[in-house]
Structure 1
Amino acid sequence: MAMSIDAIRGAAAAATVLGYAALCGAIWWRERRRRTSIQADANALAGHGTSPALVLFGTQTGQSEALAWQTARALHSRGLPVRVLSLNSLDADMLRATPRALFVASTYGEGDAPDGASLFVEKLMAGINALPSLRYAVLALGDRQYQNFCGFGRQLDEWLHSNGATREFPRIEMDNADPSALAQWNSRLGLAGNGEEEVKRPFAHWQLSKRELLNPGSVGGEIHRLVLTPPSGNLPAWQSGDLVQIEAPDDPTRPREYSIASIPTDGGIELLIRQERHADGGLGLASGWLTVALSPGDLVPLRIKPHANFRLGSNATRPLLLVGNGTGLAGLLSHLRARAATGEGDNWLLFGERNAAHDWLARDEMEAWQSSGLLHRLDMVFSRDQPGQFYVQHRLLQAADDVVAWIDRGAAIYVCGSLEGMASGVDAALRQVTGPDRFAALVAAGRYRRDVY
């Protein structure tokens, strides 16, 4: 007997869920093996007997962590015992007791410490005032397009030096993974010619299959949704929270990074791109190309960049509080789609834009998730729809009791969107709502994650 249309649809939906569950299982197993491998590597590098040098990293997207491990393995190959740690895992006694520490420190935004060093800044940099026995060196990572280039690395170096620690050599500053700066770092450490370089995925040419304007009539910049598919038809794996890097034809040496809004079972990579306009009215090189000059069928040089700090990871089955604004919705959508595929419905989305009439991005999808129960709570904040401007951080303060209740039953908080204004305001609101001890515990447990720019 022929199957009904509803039965066929149900079978297809079940197959999709099973397929995604299998993918999630494979990712979980791979992540478990990766963590086991990291611990084994750490034990092997530390050796026995001699006090190991510390190789410390403060990271946001993972680059400084990768470079720290690269440095540690190269030192170990020279017979030196080392121990690799995140700055947030370091305590004062450990730092005072170590004879040598190598710091690989990223800067976030306009001179801020990355999230991977936030507890270090609050607890150690604010509390330690004497490190006379420590020899150290700093590799500071940054981007010269920001005014306060390598701001955190510079601050860290000056703090160490002012507290009596001895520089092995002057701070080395690296602009966007500049290989000459890395070669200098290796040379000063006696590692020149170690033959190990950071492995990066090559760029592949993806095809623009669809583009649509999401906010016609908005007083803000245009936001476009792009759907990209690999010409070969072979879709690579990625996880919700990951990024892409795209090379614009007029500026290929500085890839732009964008949050991925989709998951692999969607069939392609979806991006939310806001047009950048300069003071003279001209469009940004990358955003103008992607939202105007590029035509359906054209190819885009793209590579996927894993973003370990913003993946769900150990938070995959926790309640989630997702907070963002503007195109930051992309990173939050990917997590919600992943949760929908696995049936995890304990989610609260708090999202802000300008006007409901023009800027309610992905409204149909959000309301469908709310109706289905995937979204336990949906708070939309439109800053210009009431007297006085009102933002997502103000809604967090209004809902303080509920925020604390979610945190106390194990929720993780993911923030995606603009660093200035939104993310800094949300961070201040969360600190006020939770108090210093609860907030520090949240960060230490990896339950506060940010993808902000």
Structure 2
Amino acid sequence: MSASSNTGVSRLASPPAPGTSPFVNTLLGEERSASLHRALDGLDAQTLQWLSGYIAGLAARAPLSAPTAVPTPAPQAVPETVLTIVYGTQTGNSRLLAERLQRQAEASGLKTRLLRTGEYPVREIQKERLLYVVISTQGDGDPPDDARGFVDFISSKRAPRLEQLRFAVLGLGDTSYPKYCEVSRALDARLTELGAKRWVERADCDVDFEPVAAGWLDQAVAKAKEALVPQDTGSVVMLPRNSPAAAPAFGRDAPYTAEVLTNQRITGRGALKDVRHIELSLGDSGLSYEPGDSLGIWPENPPALVEAFLSELRLEGSAELTRDGRTLPLKQWLETELELTRLSRPFLERHATLSGNADLQAILAPGGGEKFRALLASHQIIDVLRAWPAAWNAQELVRALRRLTPRMYSIASSQKRVGAEAHLTVAVVDYVAFGTPHQGAASYHLATRGTSEGTARVFVEHNDRFRLPQETGRDIIMIGPGTGVAPFRAFLQERAETGGKGRNWLFFGEQHFRSQFLYQTEWQEALKKGALHRISLAFSRDQAEKIYVQQRLREAGRDVYAWLEAGAHLYVCGEAQRMAPDVHAALIDIITTHGGRSREDAEAWLQTLREQQRYQRDIY
């Protein structure tokens, strides 16, 4: 008989430390047993005894169940997936909102990743669990250039079934266009068709995107927390919060007041266009930019236009009116807060109702597409007010007009050369229609800023999809008719300042050589110094036959194709409705003629260049 039987005291061997027993590991799982060990480590005997009684009491109150297999380990305490945010943008607004979405999500403890559509590996979509898409629609229902591959894949037969995916789509567009937010609508419908679950209802934002976007972002983050964080918060250990990137001191919502240093007309006497070279001081703002970026300008409406509104509608400019929690005189709303030059469908629909005019209502009807397009192209808001009179009261007018939004101008300088300045090339919108003068809000605002006391409210809009090649030895082909030449002035300055070895070829077009050859002396000097290796010019009205840059492209097609085959990067900047499609068609002709490809293969080849970021467009 052992000694222990004589004393009546049971002497057990020292128990294994919690978390090291195979039985405990099996019962709780390694992670929970390790957590138990850490919780009990260092407690004295009295506390351990109290805990044992407490746990026994819990067990007594818990319902008993028949033992089954080894218990399933508890769900992991960290989110099992990340929130993937993909954005497609032409002007930068989708990127802006996507970055805000990421900051809000990370501030809520969620793990995210943010990608441009052009960078997103589309085959990965079948592995995604939560995907948010922020995407704009351009022109007549087209996706942004960097989103074409993404949209085409989702729309194609190659797209896989996506029953495991939860998604949400935020669309950006312009109600001035008939196919408003067409891309976001199509993506939302197609993802649902592929079996994905719509996690947040789609929202479509007009040019003034903030009112709709802010609410959608809040809802999207709340729903993401449901998807990525277990509901049993008592067992959840939140991931450490990632610190969102600090917002710059000056931006879209906090513009810098820049002093005008130069305001010079660069079209000659007799030119049909007034084009200005504007130089702005960025002072000590800390604003920085790269060639390819844009400068946002917050405009003010022309004073004569404001007076015309008040006169036409017989309204008092001093009337105090409230919108979005702000109270201002009507005249101030019209001067600096509301859009007066660009039509939108919601305003037109309300005006048609107030006027009761059958002709205007017919234009806005579903079958009036072409007439609607023509109206948008030919009329400003004041023209509609005069053509189809209606009785607006001041408060309803302030609520119906869109918020004034910034205008983007390609920066025409390299900061490596000009320092704390930004240069712009601005075509002033100033014409007569229906017997009265018309001006553009931003261009007229800039054109009337003098150099003595003139200022403009500005911010930098970065554009990572319109960049010089990282390999400075690469050749580049730049196609920029009219003011579309602006970023290429910056490109050449940058290549000269950084010692780029690649060849530079510029295609430029305008109406007249003598009066509208923008930056002529600079291009000639660049040719002389070897900074510009080749220039092809098209002046449409200097001869009976109109000649445009796309014709010059075809004429030089053999060399254009040879440059591209050798690895050149191709850039297009300018007007989106006619110039950009015409240039694209010319490129297809060049590839089929000199590359021996079919038109389908030529399109695929250009798409490959897009994916390689060797075919980049900044069109508007």
Interval containing the TM-score (normalised by the shorter chain): 0.7 to 0.9
1:246 partner letter = I
Give the drift of 1:102: 1.4
* Aligned residue number for residue 255 of structure 1: 406
2:263–2:450 CA contact under 8 A, matched in 1: no
The separation in 1 between residues aligned to 2:618 and 2:542, in whole angstroms, is 27
1:165 aligns with 2:216: no
* Aligned residue number for residue 21 of structure 1: none
3-state SS, counterpart of residue 215 of structure 2: helix
* Aligned residue number for residue 332 of structure 1: 488
Which of 263, 266, 274 is equivalent to 2:418? 266
TM-score, with structure 1 as normaliser: 0.79
The separation in 1 between residues aligned to 2:80 and 2:590, in whole angstroms, is 45
Give the drift of 1:153: 1.7
2:537–2:552 CA contact under 8 A, matched in 1: no
1:288-437 matches, within 5 Å, as: 288-292=444-448, 294=450, 296-312=452-468, 314=470, 316-344=472-500, 346-434=503-591, 435-437=602-604
1:131–1:160 CA contact under 8 A, matched in 2: no
The separation in 2 between residues aligned to 1:191 and 1:431, in whole angstroms, is 46
The separation in 2 between residues aligned to 1:254 and 1:234, in whole angstroms, is 22
Which of 230, 233, 239 is equivalent to 2:290? 239
The separation in 1 between residues aligned to 2:483 and 2:205, in whole angstroms, is 28
1:212 aligns with 2:279: no
Q: Relative to 1, partners in 2 of residues 1:315 and 1:414: Cα closer, same or farther, differing over 3 Å?
A: farther
1:358 partner letter = S
1:25-104 matches, within 5 Å, as: 50=80, 52-72=82-102, 74-75=104-105, 82-90=112-120, 93-104=123-134
* Aligned residue number for residue 442 of structure 1: 609
The separation in 1 between residues aligned to 2:221 and 2:518, in whole angstroms, is 53
The separation in 2 between residues aligned to 1:379 and 1:327, in whole angstroms, is 16
The separation in 2 between residues aligned to 1:438 and 1:219, in whole angstroms, is 40
The separation in 2 between residues aligned to 1:378 and 1:249, in whole angstroms, is 37
1:62–1:309 CA contact under 8 A, matched in 2: no
The separation in 2 between residues aligned to 1:233 and 1:55, in whole angstroms, is 34
The separation in 1 between residues aligned to 2:607 and 2:150, in whole angstroms, is 11
Query: Percent identity over the alignment?
Result: 30
Count of residue pairs brought into register by the alignment: 406
The structure number with the bigger radius of gyration is 2
* Aligned residue number for residue 229 of structure 1: 281
Deviation larger for 195-204 or 405-414: 195-204
Q: Relative to 1, partners in 2 of residues 1:72 and 1:273: Cα closer, same or farther, differing over 3 Å?
A: closer
1:127 aligns with 2:157: yes
C-alpha RMSD over aligned residues: 3.1
The separation in 2 between residues aligned to 1:238 and 1:226, in whole angstroms, is 17
Give the drift of 1:336: 0.8
2:478 partner letter = L
3-state SS, counterpart of residue 406 of structure 2: strand
The separation in 2 between residues aligned to 1:185 and 1:350, in whole angstroms, is 43
**Which sections of structure 1, spanning at least 5 residues, go unmatched?**
1-46
Give the drift of 1:76: 5.4
3-state SS, counterpart of residue 563 of structure 2: helix
1:122 partner letter = D
1:210–1:296 CA contact under 8 A, matched in 2: no
Write 1 or 2 for the structure with the bigger share of strand. 1
3-state SS, counterpart of residue 254 of structure 1: coil
1:61–1:308 CA contact under 8 A, matched in 2: no
1:324–1:422 CA contact under 8 A, matched in 2: no
Deviation larger for 426-435 or 221-230: 426-435
2:475 partner letter = P
Q: Relative to 1, partners in 2 of residues 1:304 and 1:66: Cα closer, same or farther, differing over 3 Å?
A: closer
Q: Deviations over 1:127-163 (max 9, x none)?
A: 3466351432101123444444323222322333344
* Aligned residue number for residue 13 of structure 1: none
Give the drift of 1:227: 1.8
2:278 partner letter = L
2:297–2:408 CA contact under 8 A, matched in 1: yes
Deviation larger for 240-249 or 355-364: 240-249
Give the drift of 1:349: 0.4
1:387 partner letter = A
1:315–1:412 CA contact under 8 A, matched in 2: no
Give the drift of 1:101: 2.2
2:261 partner letter = S
* Aligned residue number for residue 171 of structure 2: 140
Q: Relative to 1, partners in 2 of residues 1:419 and 1:282: Cα closer, same or farther, differing over 3 Å?
A: same
1:248 partner letter = P
Give the drift of 1:350: 0.6
1:100-119 matches, within 5 Å, as: 100-119=130-149
The separation in 1 between residues aligned to 2:217 and 2:285, in whole angstroms, is 38
Which of 442, 446, 469 is equivalent to 1:286? 442
Q: Deviations over 1:45-68 (max 9, x none)?
A: xx9994545322212344423433
3-state SS, counterpart of residue 191 of structure 1: helix
1:70–1:196 CA contact under 8 A, matched in 2: no
2:268–2:514 CA contact under 8 A, matched in 1: no
Deviation larger for 290-299 or 330-339: 290-299
Q: Deviations over 1:337-396 (max 9, x none)?
A: 111222325100011111112111111110111121111111011122233322112222
Give the drift of 1:399: 1.9
